[in-house]
Amino acid sequence: MAEKDSTGSGTTADGLPTDVIETVERLTRHARRADEERTAGLRDRRDELLAEHGFEARIRSERDGDVLVCYPTGWLDDGEVVFDRIDDRSRAVERPLDPETDADWETIDADNRRIVDMVEERYGPVHAANAAAFADFMSNHHALRIADATADHVAEFRAEYFPRNAFPDDEQRAVLSESLEHVFEVVDGEGPPIEREADGSDV
């Protein structure tokens, strides 16, 4: 089993990037704690991420607790492992799901909602609507606090989530960069750089 990054490039020996493993584990933990609707969204996000790399997730129950196992898709048939297809057991990735270390997804989401409320109080409803969309993205797609957002998260939100899932009006689109700046001002005054389009528009 490939447990550590042995290549020095952020990818385990089995070819599954270490940041993907970390995200998949985090999404799985939060899915186990969230309500039914949130659980489905978190698991879908996890499964989509793994599918991009040719893997699928399964939970194995053991005496000491549940274990998250990520198998190469080629090993599975109708969801079951076909042992004759296993070429290298080290390609499977396992992570124990110790309930004592499970972070509370509801706490993360509540923290993000507080930021939305603060944005609305300081900057008004249009910026708050954009902040709420970013909070949904961080909570439901990455199970992370807004304070932990990276430049890659912001780029994904702007390019994919916001235009497809937020249903923004023209006013929201026009001020998206400013809204994101306000979000990070509220968090701690620091955050990823927010780039604006050359023509002054956002999306």
CA 103 – CA 107 distance, rounded (Å): 8
Per residue in 62-91, pLDDT (tens digit) is: 777 788 988 887 776 766 666 666 776 667
What's the pTM value of the predicted model, to 2 decimals?
0.59
CA 37 – CA 146 distance, rounded (Å): 21
CA 163 – CA 14 distance, rounded (Å): 35
3-class DSSP state of 11? strand
Q: Which of 16-20, 24-28, 160-164 has the highest mean pLDDT?
A: 160-164
Instruction: Tell me the average pLDDT of the chain.
Output: 81
- Axis-axis angle for helices 105-123, 18-31 (nearest 10): 90
CA 196 – CA 178 distance, rounded (Å): 9
> What is the pLDDT, as a whole number, of residue 72?
83
Per residue in 42-63, pLDDT (tens digit) is: 899 999 999 999 898 888 887 7
Q: CA of 198: how far to CAs of 63, 89, 125, 145, in Å?
A: 58, 50, 26, 30
